[in-house]
A = this chain, B = another copy of it.
């Protein structure tokens, strides 16, 4: 009877147990609603200054919706696009536009958009960092050109720094 494998599992289990006695719960930095609001207003101001009508969504560290606004006359279809851009940016801690460079036909993660109930992988989603550089959420913007959306999202994220 071979007891080697279960013994190996035991050693791993013990090591894990020792580790778990010394480490504590993770400390996650999460965006506050005041910060989310601030990012929303900063992005809205940028959109107004640029004469663009957009939807703006902010998600928290857990990729859950924290704040949202849809400007009058902006696209109805942009509600979901803005939210998905924010979620995508936090799901993979990346500018959604950079992700899109990898998901093209022939790209290394082609068609990853089919996961997570639909990702949006063109510009307009940006992770939000705090002053220490930790990602605490993300912002997604939709309604303008992709360059406008990215600039507006960037302005929103920058307002927290």
Contacts and interface: CB of A to CB of B under 8 A. Distances in A.
Q: Assembly of this chain: how many copies?
A: 4
Q: Which of A31, A60, A77, A111 has the most CB atoms of chain B within a 10 A radius of its CB?
A: A77
B2 A130 contact: no
Q: Which of A17, A41, A78 has the most CB atoms of chain B within a 10 A radius of its CB?
A: A17
B110 A114 contact: no
A57 to B, nearest CB: 8
Interface in A57-109: 60-73, 75-81, 84, 88, 90-93, 100, 103-106, 108-109
B104 A114 contact: no
Contacts of A33: 69-72
A7 B110 CA distance: 46
B19 A14 contact: no
Contacts of A122: 108-112
A65 B6 CA distance: 23
Interface of A: 1-3, 5-7, 9-10, 12-14, 16-21, 23-38, 41, 45, 48, 60-73, 75-81, 84, 88, 90-93, 100, 103-106, 108-122, 130, 134, 136, 145-146
